[in-house]
């Protein structure tokens, strides 16, 4: 049986900007994307720890090392600058998967990694 399982998670990420006029997506620094195995264009679930709002969008790579996580387009009406979020990606597998997870601080620096 195939199951949908968590494969990647950026936990307690800080939204550093929100742009409703952009075409859509969430921009994540490339170094963070690589750490948890996210691909450009990959669908993610973004859950606000601050408000409880949840939405799906796709990932766009941002400049590595900046810590800038930017929510764009209509999603910026649901999740705002300064909110803490969990950014999660899922995969389909027949066997258990150990997700690559990181916990971030207020500057989106990695505090803890787990697998």
Q: Kindly report, residue by residue over 28-66, the tens digit of the pLDDT.
A: 999 999 999 999 999 999 999 999 999 999 999 999 999
Phi-psi region of 70 (alpha: psi -120 to 50; beta: other; left: phi over 0): beta
Q: What domains sit in the chain, N to C, each tagged with a CATH number?
A: 3-95 (2.40.40.20)
State the catalytic residue, choosing from 8, 22, 25, 48: 25
Q: What are the angstrom distances between the C-alpha of 36 and each of 30, 65, 74?
A: 10, 15, 25
> Can 58 be counted among the known catalytic residues?
yes
Bridge partners, 17 (sequence order): 70
Q: Report pLDDT for 42.
A: 98
Q: Report pLDDT for 61.
A: 97
Band of the pLDDT at 24, cuts 50, 70, 90?
A: confident
pTM of the model: 0.96
Q: Report pLDDT for 23.
A: 81
> Can 8 be counted among the known catalytic residues?
no
State the catalytic residue, choosing from 8, 22, 48, 58: 58
Q: Report pLDDT for 114.
A: 87
What tens digit of pLDDT does each residue of 65-81 get? 999 999 999 999 999 99
Q: Report pLDDT for 92.
A: 97
């Amino acid at each position: 049986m195939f199951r949908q399982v968590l494969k990647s998670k950026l936990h307690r990420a800080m939204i550093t900007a929100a742009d409703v006029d952009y075409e859509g997506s969430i921009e994540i620094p490339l170094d963070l994307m690589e750490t948890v195995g996210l691909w450009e264009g990959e669908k993610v679930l973004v859950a606000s720890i601050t408000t409880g709002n949840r939405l799906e969008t796709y990932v766009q790579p941002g400049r590595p090392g900046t810590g800038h996580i930017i929510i764009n387009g209509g999603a910026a009406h649901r999740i705002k600058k300064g909110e803490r979020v969990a950014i999660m990606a899922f995969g389909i597998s027949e066997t258990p998967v150990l997700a690559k997870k990181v916990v971030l601080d207020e500057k989106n620096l990695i505090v803890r990694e787990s697998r």
